[in-house]
A and B are shown apart, each in its own frame.
Chain A
Amino acid sequence: MSHKSYVEGLVFDIRRYSVHDGPGIRTTVFFKGCPLECAWCHNPEGIRPDMEIINRRHILNGKTYLYKEVVGNLKTSGEIFNIIEKDRIFYEESEGGATFSGGEPLMQPEFLRELIGMCRKAGIHTAVDTSGHASARDFTAVLNSDLLLYDIKSANPVKHKEWTGKGNELILKNLRSVAREGPFLIIRIPLVPGFNSEEAEITAIRDLLVPLKSRIIRIDILPFHNLGVRKYIDTGRKRSMKTDVTPTGDEIDMALQIFTDKGFEAKMGA
């Protein structure tokens, strides 16, 4: 089945055999452009909503060759769908599917809506990995998907703004709306020392989520990892994260405990 479509979108990567972005074996499509600018972002090349030049290197016979590459491809939804469909047999065996991630997929709501629709029609499970930062109208684009991987970073709007560039009002509003109808949720919490790894911070997030518990499949605690550094260098983007301290085992255990205490399923990583 080949699809032609004129809805175009900007993506910066498509990764097959993605096994950490939802159930089963998945293909993850990374949308380019994000309204937030999280200090710890490990995909900085996904932030700008347009094409950009990135430095790359080839190594051959011990020699390193530097070259420039354009990050961001304008693709039609049909082109993307054709790639997603290539691994259908793997989705069937593993109960996997497609995940739309980024960047922020909701920055391109029509493109997202179209892709979810195409997958749905073809019987392919869809998940959207979102920050939730979108207008209520744009946010309806996710309602047809099967699963949301919904990031919650902080319950505190001031801190949220300080560390991500935006407050959390839209995020929490959309979260409440999706808790009434639409897809089930996996909540993803980046655990970042100095930002949200303290007990009070995590507890505040948990208390926000308690009323929505029946819609939440699981809580994923994602410990901050100092690995996007090279990508910052390659993209020439300034890195605002001041520290490279990663969460301790105790901090991670505590975060998990806070959720399991209230009957949530919580685990580290994806």
Chain B
Amino acid sequence: MTERVRQLRKQSVEAENRLDHERALLVTRFYSDIVNTEHPVPVQRALCFKYILENRKLWIGENELIVGERGPMPKATSTYPEVNLHSLKDLDILDSRPKVSFKVTEETRRIYRDYIIPFWQGKTNRDKLMAIMTPAWKKAYEAGIFTEFQEQRAPGHTVLGRKPWLKGMNDLIEECQESMERLQFETDPDAFAKRDELEAMQISAKAIIKFAWRHAGMLEKLAAKETNPVRKDEMLHMARICRRVPANAPRTFHEALQHYWFIHLGVITELNPWDSFSPGRLDQHLPGFYMKDIDNFSLNREQARELLQCFWIKFNNHPAPPKMGITAQESNTYTDFTLVNLGGVKEDGSDAVNELSFLILEVINEMKLLQPGSMIQVSKKNPDIFIHKALDIIRSGFGQPSVFNTDAIIQELLRQGKTIEDARNGGASGCVEAGAFGTEAYILTGYFNLPKILELTLSNGFDKRTNAQIGPETGDPLNFKCFDDLLSAFKKQVEYFADIKINGNRSIEELFSKNLPVPFLSLLTEDCIANGLDYNSGGARYNTGYIQGVGLGSVTDSLTALRFHVFGNKTFSMEKLLEALNADFKGYDDMQRSLVFNTPKYGNDDDYADEQAVSTFNIFFNSVDGRACYRGGKYHINMLPTTCHIYFGSVTGAMPDGRNSGTPLSEGISPVQGVDTNGPTAVLKSASKIDHIKTGGTLLNQKFTPSFFEDSESYNKITALIRSWFRLDGHHIQFNVISSETLRDAQKHPEKYRDLIVRVAGYSDYFNDLGEDLQNEIIKRTEQATG
């Protein structure tokens, strides 16, 4: 790491998160004083974007090589009052919450109080959204059946494809012009709207060019004052780059990175799309620039490394925009889910791993920053050495990169109707979501609480927590004669809530389409220009809506417990079980023990238990998959929780799997915490019984201690584990190399860690089965290995 990088990295890591009012104030000024309401909405939005970029303060850090920040300084984080409005109380909570707080200055409070709140109160997109949601939607939302992503964030979830890496904004402006010239005003009733949208795209493109020029101007001024001749040259060089990109197509490695960075800033300034924005297949987009520079001796590998590291730091300077309302208290992710993809296959299907893949892995390892996130795509065509290099990072317990199955992602995208080339140019973004990069608007719309719906099924649609009948009456469970009666009642409940969710989504999609188009993002997404249609109105080549199922393990084990104890063995009656659930197992210790310890569990490759995972998956899939989006395109499912399994757990009562009320649900498609006692191969076998290819992504976490990564033989075994999982069509696996703190927690709460296998000496054993002395020794060893 060069001294420059060390300094910049340190500044980034140590900078304080701040909630910054600049963008909110500029937007407020624009809409109160400047906007011409005669203009069509897309043009208004483009002019607002232009106004922000023209008037905001710039930041150029000492010794930076890549320039540009969203706010007036690193980690000064913008808000988006046109989407949702922070109250003064929200600002206080954000300022004081213990984790990932955002400092709020007195000035910001005052500006919020005097300008921003008075102007936006009742007028935000969130207000409009809540006003049009049905009472049934609101009841379900409040009960915690589902969440709504677009309540506080704009639809986004986008990844830059190949094209914008090879084109300048001037080229795109030209394309808009050509598209405009093709409009058929006599025959196409939408031609005027298309013209407006294309005009808005052109305004946005010009705005980002000027924004880069402002940086060039500032660099020139700073250079004039700079006394160090080396830095002076550097700044003049950077100024020339900012004059060239993003107006024109980048020619060099440095230009390419700066080009992307301006585009990135444009997208996250225009609105606050969920999951930020991503550069996509970085090791596919950069080699052209890299090889050219290397060949003409204008760049060497170390300089490329330094530029990439400066690029990495830029992402880390941008935390996720802070939430408001209840979620301000609960949600404290710093990460804004930018995800860099490495590896996989090229458009022609050949192995895509190259020199840049390895260089970027080295950068990830040295940077160890939360953002950008990283993942490797592994196709059967990629070499093992690529996986091994990724394991070098994974073994340190950093949690990155996660590992994805390219061959499964391609099948998933093909099933959804993409061409083979678009599928191969795709990958995963956000957490694990499959998408065709650069050509698809795939919007995540909300998490869906499957265990909660089972809870409602057991109370005939009545929610005890909110004291309301929120689901349909699907029968008193005491009258269920067999397990299939229960399953069909559960199915009706899932279908009912999926209908509510999808109908709500459609209204929300319409709201964004009409009120908050994104002409800048549309410029970057094929085929918005050709179609003259906004990203939020279905302009992309492919449009997809996703609903994310949460709690597969919990709901599976609960259904299995009912099947096994109530309907099968008749260990206890439905009546007794319901009593115990109502009492949160207080006074029912023996029953709870039976449910927890003496019941088949998902994650052990036991068909009896895994059958319920498959039934649940199919019920959810059939309720959602293939339903129409407002924007065109279809809804699909994926199975991932981010951190929502904790919130969903907090609103879900005691469950028949022995889980206590309010405690976290299982996450992703992983088994309930600690119940998988047959090792990782059994977990993978269980998890492969659901059809991953029918999803747009699943998330599986596996815990290992560092000792499983200690030599080349263990690398080969982990690699084989990954390859096998991918032969079973698994979509994703993340290795959580556990820390000594986790082991200490396991000493205190053994019941949560029944699955934890540790290497002892020449063999492995369950951590719980070891004596305390030995546990302590393993903790010590783990400390040494992870440092």
Mark A residues whose CB is within 8 Å of B: 15-21, 24-25, 58-61, 63, 65, 86-87, 89-90, 92-96, 220, 222-223, 225-227, 229-230, 268-270
**Cβ contacts under 8 Å, A20 to chain B:** 759, 762-764
Would you call A17 and B679 a contact (CB within 8 A)? Answer: yes
Given A18-B764, A19-B708, A222-B761: A58 in contact with B597 (beta carbons within 8 A): yes
A65–B593 touching, CB < 8 Å: yes
- Docked Cα-Cα span, A230 to B678, in Å, equals 21
Interchain CA distance A25-B757 in the complex, whole Å: 15
| The residue from B716, B728, B761 contacting A227, defined by CB atoms under 8 A apart | B761
**Residue of B whose beta carbon sits closest to that of A21:** B763
A–B pairs, 23, beta carbons within 8 Å: A16-B605, A16-B681, A17-B680, A17-B682, A18-B764, A19-B764, A24-B717, A25-B717, A25-B720, A25-B724, A58-B593, A58-B596, A58-B597, A60-B592, A60-B597, A63-B589, A86-B681, A86-B682, A92-B724, A96-B720, A223-B761, A225-B774, A226-B774
In the complex the two chains form, is B760's CB within 8 Å of A94's CB?
A: no
Is B692 in contact with chain A by the CB < 8 A criterion? no
Evaluate contact between B681 and A227: CB separation under 8 angstroms. Answer: no
In the complex the two chains form, is A227's CB within 8 Å of B717's CB?
no
When distances are taken between beta carbons in the complex, the residues of chain B under 8 Å from A60 are: 589, 592-593, 596-597, 751
B764 near A227: Cβ-Cβ < 8 Å: no
CB distance from A43 to the nearest CB of B (A): 10
Given known contacts A16-B681, A89-B727, A223-B761, is B771 in contact with A229 (CB within 8 Å)?
yes
CB contact list, B654-696 vs A, under 8 A = 660, 678-682, 685
- In the assembled complex, the CB of A245 is this many whole angstroms from the nearest CB of chain B, namely 14
Interface centre among A21, A61, A90, A269 (most CB of B within 10 A): A90
Is A25's CB under 8 angstroms from B728's CB?
A: no
Asked if B626 is at the interface of the complex by the 8 Å CB criterion, the answer is: no
Q: Which residues does chain A contribute within 8 Å of B15, judged by CB atoms?
A: none
User: In the complex, what residue of chain B is closest to A19 when comparing beta carbons?
Assistant: B717
Cα A63 to Cα B593 in complex, Å, equals 11
List residues of chain B with CB within 8 A of the CB of A268.
Answer: 762
Cβ 8 A contact of B681, one of A17, A21, A58, A222: A17
Residue on B nearest A231 in the bound complex, by CB: B769
Q: How many angstroms from the CA of A239 to the CA of B480 in the assembled complex?
A: 54
Q: Rank and list the top 6 A-B pairs by shortest CB-CB distance, nearest first.
A: A94-B720, A17-B679, A93-B720, A225-B761, A269-B762, A230-B771
Residues of A within 8 A of B728 (CB): 89
State which residues 683-732 of B face A: CB under 8 Å.
Answer: 685, 708, 714, 716-717, 720-721, 723-724, 727-728
Name, among A87, A93, A222, A268, the residue most crowded by chain B CB atoms within 10 Å (CB to CB).
Answer: A93
CB pair A93 B773 closer than 8 Å: no
Given contacts A18-B763, A24-B716, A61-B660, 18 further A-B contacts (CB under 8 A): A15-B679, A16-B678, A17-B679, A17-B721, A17-B757, A19-B708, A19-B714, A19-B764, A20-B763, A21-B763, A24-B720, A58-B593, A60-B589, A86-B682, A94-B716, A94-B724, A223-B762, A227-B774
B750: Cβ under 8 A from any A Cβ:
yes
**Residue in contact with B770 in the complex, picked from A15, A21, A230, CB distance below 8 Å:** A230
Beyond A17-B679, A94-B720, whether A87 also contacts B760 by CB under 8 A is no
- B684's closest neighbor in chain A, by CB? A90
Residues facing A in B549-599 (CB within 8 A) are 589, 592-593, 596-597
- Cβ distance A20 to chain B, nearest Cβ, rounded Å: 5
Write out, one digit per residue, whether chain B residues 751-783 have a CB within 8 A of any chain A CB (1) or not (0).
100000101111111000111011000000000
Question: Closest residue to A270 on the B side, CB-wise?
Answer: B762
Docked-complex contact A222 and B762, CB < 8 angstroms: yes
**Choice from B592, B717, B762, B771 contacting A220 with Cβ under 8 Å:** B762
CB neighbours of A87 from chain B (8 A)? 681, 685
Residue with the highest number of chain A CB atoms closer than 10 Å, among B597, B757, B763, B773 = B763
Is the pair B769, A230 in contact by a Cβ cutoff of 8 Å?
yes
B-chain residues with CB within 8 Å of residue A93 when the two chains form the complex: 720-721, 723-724, 727
CA distance A20 to B682 in the complex (A): 17
- Contact residues, B129-186 vs A (CB, 8 A): none
| Chain B residues whose CB sits within 8 angstroms of the CB of A220 once the complex forms | 762
Q: How far is the CA of A66 from the CA of B708 in the complex (A)?
A: 32
**Interface pair B773/A89, CB less than 8 Å apart:** no
Bound together, the chains give a CA A92 to CA B727 distance in angstroms of: 11
A47 to B679, CA, bound (A): 24
The minimal Cβ–Cβ distance linking B782 to chain A, given in whole angstroms, is 16
The answer for the CA separation of A220 and B713 in the assembled complex, in Å, is 14
Contact with A along B25-56 (1 / 0, CB 8 A): 00000000000000000000000000000000
Q: Given the complex of chains A and B, what is the CA–CA distance between A65 and B593 in angstroms?
A: 9
- Residues from chain B with a CB closer than 8 A to the CB of A65 are 593
Residues of A within 8 A of B769 (CB): 230
**Chain B hits for A25, CB < 8 A:** 681, 717, 720-721, 724
B45-83 vs A, Cβ < 8 Å mask (1 yes, 0 no)? 000000000000000000000000000000000000000
Which of chain B's residues has its CB closest to A16's CB? B679
Is there contact, CB below 8 Å, between A16 and B682? yes
Report B-chain residues with C-beta under 8 Å of the C-beta of A59.
750-751
Q: Which of B660, B721, B750, B763 contacts A90 (CB 8 A)?
A: B721
Q: Which residue of A lies closest to B707 (CB)?
A: A269
**Residue in chain B with minimal CB distance to A221:** B762
Assembly CA distance A89 to B685 (angstroms): 10
Contacts of B679 in A (CB 8 A): 15-18
Q: Are A227 and B720 touching (Cβ within 8 A)?
A: no
CA gap between A81 and B717 in the complex, in Å: 22
A79 CB to nearest chain B CB (Å)? 14
A86 proximity list for chain B (CB < 8 A): 605, 681-682, 685
Shortest beta-carbon distance, B718 to chain A, in Å?
9
| Residues of the A chain whose Cβ atoms lie less than 8 Å from the Cβ of B750 | 59
Query: Are the CB atoms of B770 and A227 closer together than 8 Å?
Result: yes
Residue of B with least CB distance to A92:
B724
Q: Nearest Cβ in chain B — how far from A188, in angstroms?
A: 8
B771 touches A90 (CB 8 A): no
Q: Give Cα distance in the complex from A226 to B770, angstroms.
A: 10
Complexed CA–CA distance, A270 and B761 (Å): 8
Contacts of A92 in B (CB 8 A): 724
Q: 0/1 per residue, B307-322, Cβ < 8 Å to A?
A: 0000000000000000
Shortest Cβ gap from B516 to chain A (Å): 48
B593: chain A residues at CB < 8 Å are: 58, 60, 65
Minimal beta-carbon separation of A35 from chain B (angstroms): 21
Q: How far is the CB of A37 from chain B (nearest CB, A)?
A: 20
Contacts of B727 in A (CB 8 A): 89, 93
Which residues of B622-681 are within 8 A (CB) of A?
660, 678-681
Contact with A along B370-393 (1 / 0, CB 8 A): 000000000000000000000000
Q: How far is the CB of A224 from chain B (nearest CB, A)?
A: 8
Decide yes or no: A94 and B717 within 8 Å by CB, A15-B679, A16-B681, A20-B764 being known contacts. yes
- In the bound complex, CA of A229 to CA of B765 (Å): 14
Task: Using CB atoms, name the residue of chain B closest to A269.
Answer: B762
Q: CA A222 – CA B678 in complex, angstroms?
A: 25
The answer for the CA separation of A18 and B660 in the assembled complex, in Å, is 33
Min CB distance, B546 to chain A, in Å?
Answer: 29
User: Can you name the residue of chain B whose Cβ is closest to the Cβ of A20?
Assistant: B763
User: Are B720's CB and A90's CB within 8 A?
Assistant: yes
| A236–B724 alpha-carbon span in the complex (Å) | 41
By a CB distance below 8 angstroms, the chain A residues around B760 are 225, 227
Take A93-B723, A94-B717, A222-B761 as given contacts and tell me if A227 and B771 are in contact as well, using a CB distance cutoff of 8 Å: yes
Pick the residue among B680, B721, B763 that contacts A94 (CB under 8 A).
Answer: B721
CA distance A205 to B571 in the complex (A): 57
Q: How far is the CB of A92 from chain B (nearest CB, A)?
A: 8
Q: State how many angstroms separate the Cβ of A171 from the closest Cβ of chain B.
A: 20
CA distance A222 to B682 in the complex (A): 28
Assembly CA distance A230 to B605 (angstroms): 29
Given contacts A17-B679, A19-B764, A227-B771, contact A89 B724 (CB under 8 A): yes
What is the CA–CA distance of A58 and B590 in the complex, to the nearest angstrom? 11
Cα–Cα, bound, A19→B774 (Å): 20
What separation, in Å, do the CA atoms of A100 and B678 have in the docked complex? 17
List residues of chain B with CB within 8 A of the CB of A90. 681, 720-721, 724
